[in-house]
Structure 1
């Protein structure tokens, strides 16, 4: 400490090592729990997908036999063979019940899948918002974030994006790119205005023996260069002349 060697008690070193070890262990356990949870979720989804496929195949088979039985002339069968009539009626009712049960189970699976998709989407949006605030900490101010979001939406509409296109943007990287593009356009617009003002300003006539205004000459040169090139660098050069 301060260039001097300091002896640290062994007990303190051991305690520090133990704390770090505990932290590392807990971090690894948390990561393992997440991996296990993800693996279990994927396994459950796969099993549910396979079960739904079986239900769909069963439904096709039931629809086929029910269609065949619907072609039976029930009054004629009752008249000619009452026992067969009762047998076919019982089979028909059983198959109808199975088909209804099959439909209900498939609907439940579909609803469960939709719920999981919605939950996953909400988790995705939360993560994107977290990443966005990490890169744009100023947006933690709700008022500032709302103002810039409105400006970005207006900018995107001017570029031909529709309301649905804009509202569907979820990836924080797309927001970052759109914001940078907007700020770039704003910078270029301001630089163009400044360059135009400089170009339109009356030129001073410098009399022989009188030193010219270096700042004015620099602004004029920067404005002409920006008018010719129109780059970010030339725009920055224009602004630099006014600092």
Structure 2
């Protein structure tokens, strides 16, 4: 005899068979809902080709030339360059809009995934109650004494087991999709942070300098006790910017003893030479200013004078 329990969401009675059918229907809908369309328009179009003007029978006007950085450039070349740049800018803006739409669409899909996960959790709870309340059929007895009932209950039980497998498979698939979405969002944030960082510090676009800076930042985090996963999870521009400034300040502080030693080794200036200020005078003034303020800016100015 099949038992019944209250549906968690509606409060109506729901048999195990009905729960199994509901699971199958839910999974079928979810499967179709989460088919993500590839973003076919994210590649930059080629803009190197120049659109040629149609041929006419009119006599062409004399070409005008302009001096640009010592080079003679024709008016037609300037116009073609402008058209290419204008077209490139337009295409870039279109692509930016497409990417924005794609990201918003992905957020909507991820929201649907979250809602589906909640529904799956409710169904899992419901079906677990049903299984606990019913006895496992004695298939050996039924096969020997009531073959017809054996076939019916066997098919019914296999249907329920199939529904359980479906729900767990769907749960795992949704978790994988959600994890992929989080990774994609994290990568997008890293790219945005990178763009903002190099825009603020253009001199670090040099690969050698950038590698040194990020190595110093990583070393600082590891010394502070951050684990490798924690370091890789940092993608906020504000945090990266703050870490960079801390590293730079620490470097300036470590250089101060050498600077002081260098100043102390400066030769004594004779009275005759006092008629005008020398580089040593400026070095000492910088040192005295730093000694009073102890600021990173004054330390950097002092180090710069001594280089």
Tell me the TM-score normalised to structure 1 length: 0.65
Number of residue equivalences: 223
Shift of 1:155: 4.2
Runs of at least 5 residues in structure 1 that lack an aligned partner in the other structure: 1-20
Equivalent position SS for 2:235: coil
Aligned equivalents of 2:284, 2:165: Cα separation in 1:
83
Aligned equivalents of 1:139, 1:74: Cα separation in 2:
74
CA contact (8 A) 1:66 1:96 kept: no
Runs of at least 5 residues in structure 2 that lack an aligned partner in the other structure: 1-85
Alignment correspondent of 2:7: none
Shift of 1:107: 1.8
CA contact (8 A) 1:222 1:234 kept: yes
Closer/same/farther in 2, CA of residues 97 and 140 from structure 1, 3 Å limit: same
CA contact (8 A) 1:77 1:84 kept: no
Closer/same/farther in 2, CA of residues 108 and 76 from structure 1, 3 Å limit: closer
CA contact (8 A) 1:195 1:227 kept: no
CA contact (8 A) 1:52 1:106 kept: yes
Aligned equivalents of 2:273, 2:90: Cα separation in 1:
72
Question: Is the counterpart of residue 52 in structure 1 residue 108 in structure 2?
Answer: no
Equivalent position SS for 1:162: coil
Closer/same/farther in 2, CA of residues 203 and 151 from structure 1, 3 Å limit: same
1:55-66 aligned within 5 A? 55-66=120-131
Question: Which structure has greater helix proportion?
Answer: 1
CA RMSD of aligned residues (A): 4.3
Q: 1:154 aligns with which of 195, 216, 219?
A: 219
Which fold has the larger relative contact order, with Cα–Cα distance below 8 Å and residues 6 or more apart in sequence? 2
Q: 1:118 aligns with which of 168, 175, 183?
A: 183
